[in-house]
Each structure stands twice: as structure tokens, then as C-alpha cells.
A and B are shown apart, each in its own frame.
Chain A
């Protein structure tokens, strides 16, 4: 990106007009994207909020105070953390293990496996929710947190394996060879040499899975039934169904509280290495 910016700044006057035009168009686009979010922020600070976007007449944190109760916010957020954290950990562990042989050995098995993985990346998860529900009933896994965690891990696993393998491919094999000379096994080499080197990449995978699971509504909505196990996505939905028509401000405050963790995580990962950079690792062609 820096090269491109440099090229733009030393360019001709004609290019300067193009830059100004680009700036203008981009600002308009940014405004369009920002507009819907304005309501969320303003309404969360407005005790008399409605669906209209308005500057709060009496801005206050009353909405936040109202929703910051154990039952409404803390327990669901904790459940979300368990669900997303568990899914992300399980995914990363399984993906690293799986990526190692795929990246390091040439086997007849690799190609069909990677195609299967790619195909798995494409599965519309919504489509399998009805059968997943039936399957969970048969296996007696309905309302089980661990099973839901593993299911969420499985849904993001194809993408995670794909990303992890690409990250791992870029770790030079020569470093491991040194470890092998020292008599270390493949697994030891993986743990001592490869994983530490690709830690930023794994961080990216972890956070991507985490963010995806954090925002998921449909999976816990169908698979978890006890109110005490519901993550924030589901509790916010019942809040909307019950109070949405009345307590817009609280709904907005609740939404903000629920969104902040993933926004922070995202900021973390993108400050570290740039979001686009990250994705290029994921799906680079």
C-alpha cells in the first residue's frame, strides 16, 4: 500500500485530480456505511430513543445501567465467551495438527483432502442446521455446551485448515531440519519450531474463528435451549422480541456492549498486521 501511496503523491496534476475525485467518492461511501451505525450509538445514549436517529435530548448512560445486570448481560456474555473461546481453541489446535502433515509431506492423499476441505469451506451452514438439530437429538447432545462448541469448531475448521496450511507453507523447512538433526520428532519440531514462528498467523486464525462464533446467532438458537446457557446473540434476540418495540435505547446499549469485544479484537489483529494482509494469507490464489 505504501508504494501505491508514494506513487500517487509524486504524480502529475492529472493524477492529483483523480486522487481528489477518489477521495470524494470514498468519503461519500464511508458516510453511507456510517449512517446506519449512527443510530446505534445515539440511541444507546438516549433514554427516550426510538427508531429515528436523533441527537439525545438528555444524553445519559441510563440505558447501559439498565441492561448491565447479571441475567441480561453478564451471563450471556460469559456464555458467548465460553462458546467462542472454546470453538477458537479447538479449531486452532485441530487445524495446526492437520496442517502439519499436509504442509510437510507429499502424499497422494493431500490433493483430494484439500479439495474436500475447500468444499467444506463452501458448505452453507444454515442449510445443515435442521439436520444438525435432528442429529443432536439422536446423539443426545441438544443443550450441551461442549457439543455446540465442537460443532462451531467444525464449521470453521475447513477455512482454518486452509489458512493454517498456507501460513505453515511459508515457514522454511530448513529450520525444522535443524531440529530433526538434533533428533527431535516431527511433533516436537512442530511445537518448538513451527508453531512459534507462525504465531501471528495462528493469532489471526484464532481471532477469525472467535469473531465468527461470537456473532453466530442461528447455531446456539437451535442447539442450546436452557436460558442459562444462552449466549448474547440469543438473549439479545429475545430481548428484541419482548422489549424491542419499547426499549429501543436499551436494545442499542445491549448491542453496543455485545459488539465491543469483537471490535477490540479486530482492531488488535488489524493493527498488528493489516486486515487485508491477513486475508491474503487466507485465500491467496
Chain B
């Protein structure tokens, strides 16, 4: 036995030595000619992975001796950004090209993680094909461009026509006020027990989804906003903030939305799209223009009937005031890491991923709103799903998140406020006061306004 144990130990030791040696050798040797591409991949978001896998051999064939090292991070948006930020800290681990949410751009540009792309873009003919909004999305405070958008999105109400019809509500449906939503939801509740009438995200579990696909649609329809762009100050103590919380409180306390405990589950949206809508157990929800990507062929929850069963409507303003609709826009970009040793190669990879053909493929397969004018005009893009025209119209009433580096922290506080309210831990006034205190602590009292 002793001999065996000795053997086992020495084998283990030897293997770990080899592994140690192997790791360091690989790291130093191949560095200069490897492009590290970091991006998100989940069971419901595989479009980018597919795209990169498709262009990797193309790129490697065109650039002899270059290896494209694809590093998909399998995580939700929050975990992805944590991992990405952790990897940005040192040159060894920082990516050459990475996938980044627009709302983290400013903050990461401030941190010096993104390479200034101005010179590269000057020499890229395709850049002129990108619309102005898209060009603005990747811009830093200094007016330089640091990232190129993959597409953009808008947000609206997605509702189930069968459920609405059964409740005696005429479709197509377009609510004019918040009350119209509550009225419809109550009708569904009264006629169809077991069906969730109208869900809107809340709580920290759904992260940025809570604010982008729920709270801001409410807030920006009250006439108030999160941030005053003119004074560059954060708005606290607004009536709109409280009204928005009150609306969510009503939805959850009247059981018009999912159970609060389900709402806190980060995976609640999978239930919404994978289960509730296809089974006709949900009246409506607020979600992005990319929603068809879940259901279309090759999506995570294939459901061909969505074409006929689902309807899309603009989210109304609080009392039906102009412009009669509210939408939020975000989107993701590709950027080149500031610590890259092969800036030119990295940019070439980025431009290959975003050329017309690849942008078109990605926009269709991930249900993105095109930011390239040539893609937007392409007949296959327009025919990709029946909702392209409707969600593109929402661009006219859309809003963007404040592009400041404090934003992610403020957003977390908004999420906390919604969670406190729907779980009954705080009243609307308390949660709103707690938010005000937290915002002041984050940005300082000179950066807030009533």
C-alpha cells in the first residue's frame, strides 16, 4: 500500500508540475499572435457565439499565424460584467475584443479599459453606414469613439392576443394611460384564474431588466426623469418616482403580476417567455424588441405561433399625455481592449464581425434593431419577423439611460427600491426616501436636484 500511495503522490505531483510548466509556457509563447475575444453566452443568447464561431476560421485564414481565442463567459448579464471587469485589471487577462453593454461604456472608458478607435474608424469605409444614434452610443466624454454598436433595441408591451380576447378586450390593443393597463389586467384576473394578468419586472434579481423593461417605462411617462441632462444632476424626491413605485406596488399587491418571490428569481424571464406566454398563462409584459429571438426558429423557446398569438403595443404615459408612448433603448457594442498588443488585428476582427453581411445575420437572429442604414433597408431584415416595423417605430418615443459612470450604482438603488416595495418591506414613501439618501451618498449632495 505504501508504495502505491507514494506512487499516487508522485504522479499527482508530477502532473501538477507539468501543468504549471505548461500554463506558463503557453502564456508567454503565443501571446503576440493570439486575439482574445470575450463575450457573453447563455442558453438563450447564442447568436454572438455562433457569429464568432463562423468568422473565426475566415479571419484566421486571412491572417496567417493568428489564432482567435474565443472565450464565451457563461453567465447572466451581472455575472458577465463582474467577470469582464475583473479581467480588465491586468494586461495578462484583459481581452483584445469584447462585448460590452452601452450603459457601462462611459464608466469603463473612464477606467481606461477601451481603446480609442478614432484612427481606425477613419480608415473604415463602413463607418459611414452607421446611423448617428449608433455613433453616439460608443462615444466617450471626450468626443472620441470607443465602441461600435451591434444593434439597438426598443421596449414595448408584448401581449397575448388569445388571453386578451378571452377577457373581452379588443385586439389590437393600445393602452393610453396606466389605468388602461390596470383595467385590462383586472379583467383578465376576473375572467381567467390561473393566468398572470400583466407582469412587470421588479427587484434586484432581474438586474438591469428591472429598470429597462419596467421602472423607466413608468418613470419617463410621468414627466419626471432619473437625471437632469441640462444641470447634470440626479433627480431625487420626484412625484413621478413615487407614482412609478406605486404602480408596481398595485400590480404586485393585487396579484396582477407574478408572485413577488418569483419576481426576485433572476430567471423569471425564462419562465415568462419559455412557459407562461406559449402556454397562454400570461396576459402581457414589458420587454425588448429582441423578444422574437426567443421564439423564432433556432431560439431557446421555439414557438412558431408567436407570429399570430402575440401583439406589441407602446407603453403609455401616465395620463395619456404626449408623446403617447414611452420606450427605452440600450444595446450592446463591440470594443477593443486598451491593453491589447495587436490593436490593428483586433480592430480588423471587430470590423469583420460588424460588416454588412454579419450585421444583417446578427440583427435578424438576435432580433436587433439595425444601426447600419444598409442593413435597415435590406428586405430580409424587414421580413425577419412581423414586429420589425412596430418596434422600430418606438424609436421615436425612446429614451436612453444617463451615460455617466455613476449610473450602474444608481440603477442598483432603483432596483433595491422596487424590491423593497413589492416585498412589502418598505412603503412607497420609505423606499423613495431611502433611494434619495442612497443617491446623495453615491454622487454627493451637490449633484442632486429636487
Mark A residues whose CB is within 8 Å of B.
82, 85-86, 88-89, 133, 137, 140, 142-146, 149, 196, 199, 203, 206, 222, 225-228, 238-239, 241-246
A83 to chain B, nearest CB (A): 9
A81–B111 Cα distance when bound, in Å, is: 36
Q: Are A86 and B72 in contact (CB under 8 A)?
A: no
Asked whether A146 and B265 contact (CB < 8 A) given A199-B5, A225-B93, the answer is no
* Contact, CB under 8 Å: A226 / B71: yes
Cβ-defined contact, A82 with B16, below 8 A = yes
Chain B neighbourhood of A228, CB < 8 A: 71
Contact flag A82-B72 (CB < 8 Å), given A137-B90, A241-B266? no
A149–B76 CA distance with the chains assembled, in angstroms = 27
Given contact pairs A226-B71, A244-B267, A137 touches B89 in the complex (Cβ within 8 A) = yes
Residue of A nearest to B18 (CB): A82
B73: Cβ under 8 A from any A Cβ: yes
Residue of A nearest to B265 (CB): A245
> Is A142 a contact of B74 with CB atoms below 8 Å?
no
Contact of B270 among A82, A142, A227, A245 (CB under 8 A): A245
Residues of B within 8 A of A145 (CB): 19-20, 23
State whether A225 touches B42 (Cβ < 8 A).
no
Q: Which of B71, B86, B274 contacts A227 (CB 8 A)?
A: B71
* B:374-420 near A, CB below 8 Å: none
Residues of A within 8 A of B93 (CB): 142-143, 225-226
The smallest C-beta distance from B205 to any residue of chain A, in angstroms, reads: 11
- Interface with A: B7-15, B115-123, B220-228, B329-337, which one? B7-15
Q: Nearest CB to that of A143 among chain B residues?
A: B93
Interface residues of B in 300-318 (CB under 8 A from A): none
Label chain A's interface by main secondary structure. Answer: helix
User: In the complex the two chains form, what is the Cα distance from A245 to B271 in whole Å?
Assistant: 8
> Quick check: A86 and B19 within 8 Å, CB to CB?
yes
Minimum Cβ distance to chain A for residue B81 (Å)? 13
Q: How far is the CB of B130 from chain A (nearest CB, A)?
A: 31
The 7 closest A-B pairs by CB, nearest first: A86-B16, A245-B267, A137-B89, A238-B74, A146-B20, A85-B12, A143-B93
Given A143-B92, A222-B86, output 12 extra A-B contacts at Cβ < 8 Å: A143-B93, A146-B24, A225-B87, A227-B71, A227-B73, A238-B74, A238-B75, A241-B74, A241-B75, A242-B74, A243-B43, A245-B265
Closest-CB distance, A62 to chain B (whole angstroms)? 18
Using Cβ atoms and an 8 Å threshold, which residues of chain A touch B72? 227
Q: Does B450 contact A (CB under 8 A)?
A: no
Name the residue of chain A whose CB is nearest to the CB of B72: A227
Q: List 12 A-B contacts (CB under 8 A).
A: A85-B16, A89-B9, A144-B92, A203-B5, A206-B9, A222-B86, A225-B83, A225-B93, A227-B73, A238-B79, A245-B267, A246-B270
State whether A149 touches B43 (Cβ < 8 A): no
What separation, in Å, do the CA atoms of A244 and B43 have in the docked complex? 11
Instruction: Indicate if the CB atoms of B15 and A82 lie closer than 8 Å.
Output: yes
B43, A242: Cβ atoms closer than 8 Å: yes
User: Is the CB–CB distance between A142 and B87 below 8 Å?
Assistant: yes
Cβ contacts under 8 Å, A242 to chain B: 42-43, 74-76
Complex CA distance for A228 and B267, rounded to whole angstroms: 25
B2 contacts chain A at the CB level, 8 A cutoff: yes
Q: Quick one: CB contact mask for B9-48 with A, threshold 8 Å, 1 for yes?
A: 1001101100110011000000000000000001100000
Determine the chain B residues whose CB is within 8 A of the CB of A243 once the complex forms: 43
Set of chain B residues within 8 Å of A238, measured between Cβ atoms: 74-75, 79
CA distance A25 to B280 in the complex (A): 50
Q: Please give, as numbers and ranges, the residues of chain B lying within 8 Å of A239 by CB-CB distance.
A: 74
Q: What is the chain A residue whose CB lies nearest that of B74?
A: A238
Nearest CB of A to B302, in Å: 14
CB-CB under 8 A from B12, the residues of chain A are 85, 88-89
